[in-house]
Amino acid sequence: MASQHVLAEPATAAIFLVATVDDGGIDGIRDLLADLAGLTRSVAFRSPEDKLTCVAGVGSRVWDGLYGEPRPAGLHPFQEVAGSKHTAIATPGDLLFHLRARRMDLCFELARQISLRLAGLATVVDEVHGFKYFDQRDVLGFVDGTENPDDQDAVDAVTVGDEDPAFAGSSYVIVQKYVHDMAAWQAISVEEQERVIGRSKVDDIEMSDAVKPKNSHIALNVIEDEDGNELDIVRDNMVFGNIADGSFGTYFIGYAKDPEVIERMLQNMFIGDPPGNYDRILDFSTVLTGNLYFVPTANFLEDQPS
Ligand code: HEM
């Protein structure tokens, strides 16, 4: 079973399309998803060295109509996470298209081809054009992605296995769009910013446990199972922004073999661990969207009767 390109080559450009399926659109969407790998090849082949890929995610609301039984064990709507001060909201989204390449024009051309096929079947409700900022930094100025697992560890982190045999090789993905209060962020010192993240800003070195604040982003996102093994996800966040309207953002995207891992991180961030000890990054960030999707294998999408 070939997985979709969840573990893509490093990209510098991405487009995130979130769509809701219109009444009567289900059959056409099933056909589009079956054709997606072919559409991607048509655009990617023009410039193979630029590594255009597209991952499609399917939301809980449309799964039964699209594919019926069996249902992926971990597929459910994104659950809002309400803390005392910040809430991870759930917003509409039946389909996610995660397009990545080393050139934005390739992403845009594939997005255009997908949109032609979506017409009359689904409505794009959110679209973000993201890019990698210098040194792989987020717009807050910190290197983002350092502690992602690599090689086999990455495969293990994102690939459904024997726990749901009908869907072995699949994955789950959670996306959230954040905008940052840059004025408030820049008003604090670099040392204070480092205490928010839990790593040094210029050198990207993790703080020792002795000095790392309990409410830093890193302290709350390093989680373990009951046997003390660290639970990994694979992130490929992108920066986005708009000078004219003053928005500066992070598009968070996390892949995992079990969405509960990402949900636990969100609980730590928004509710806090212990409750009340929430992630300080949220005092400088507002979350605007929240969706959860299942990522079937490429074969599953393609092998549907039309
Ligand atoms: C680590 C930024 C949201 C999970 C990091 C790092 C930065 C960062 C700078 C440190 C370097 C690295 O290892 O990548 C951000 C920003 C976010 C955001 C700007 C948007 C406000 C999230 C969310 C989650 C998450 C929503 C999970 C639900 C993680 C994890 C790590 C991490 C698991 C690695 C922890 C470790 O193993 O050291 N993030 N992040 N992040 N983030 Fe985020």
Give per-residue pLDDT as tens, 174-210. 999 999 999 999 999 999 999 999 999 999 999 999 9
Mean pLDDT, rounded, for 126-143: 97
C-alpha atoms less than 13 angstroms from C-alpha of 140 in its C-beta half-sphere: 31
Which pLDDT belongs to residue 183? 97
pLDDT surpasses 80 at 5: yes
Q: Which atom of ligand 1 is nearest to the CA of 145?
A: 14
Q: What is the pLDDT of residues 216-254, one digit of tens each?
A: 999 999 999 999 999 999 999 999 999 999 999 999 999
Q: What is the distance in A from the centroid of ligand 1 to the CA of 52?
A: 25
Q: Is 156 a catalytic residue?
A: no
Cβ–Cβ < 8 Å for 235, 253 = yes
Q: What is the distance in A from the centroid of ligand 1 to the CA of 123?
A: 30
Q: What is the distance in A from the centroid of ligand 1 to the CA of 295?
A: 21
Which pLDDT belongs to residue 305? 80
Helix 60-67 vs helix 26-44: crossing angle, to nearest 10: 100
pTM across the whole model: 0.98
Residues enclosing ligand 1, CB less than 6 A?
A: 138, 140, 142-147, 176, 178, 197, 199, 217-218, 221-222, 233, 250, 252, 254, 262, 265-266, 281, 285
How many other CB atoms are there within 10 angstroms of residue 72's CB atom? 21
Q: What is the pLDDT of residues 34-65, one digit of tens each?
A: 999 999 999 999 999 999 999 999 999 999 99
Q: Which atom of ligand 1 is nearest to the CA of 281?
A: 21
d(CA 28, CA 6): 24
Helices (H), 45-161: 60-67, 104-118, 151-158
Q: Which atom of ligand 1 is nearest to the CA of 88?
A: 26
Q: What is the distance in A from the centroid of ligand 1 to the CA of 146?
A: 9
Backbone angles phi, psi at 49, to 5 degrees: -70, -10
Cβ–Cβ < 8 Å for 292, 89 = no
Amino acid at 51: K
Which pLDDT belongs to residue 1? 74
Where in the chain are the domains?
13-302
Q: Whose CA is nearest to atom 30 of ligand 1?
A: 221
- Separation in Å, CA 10 to CA 52, 76, 101: 10, 29, 8
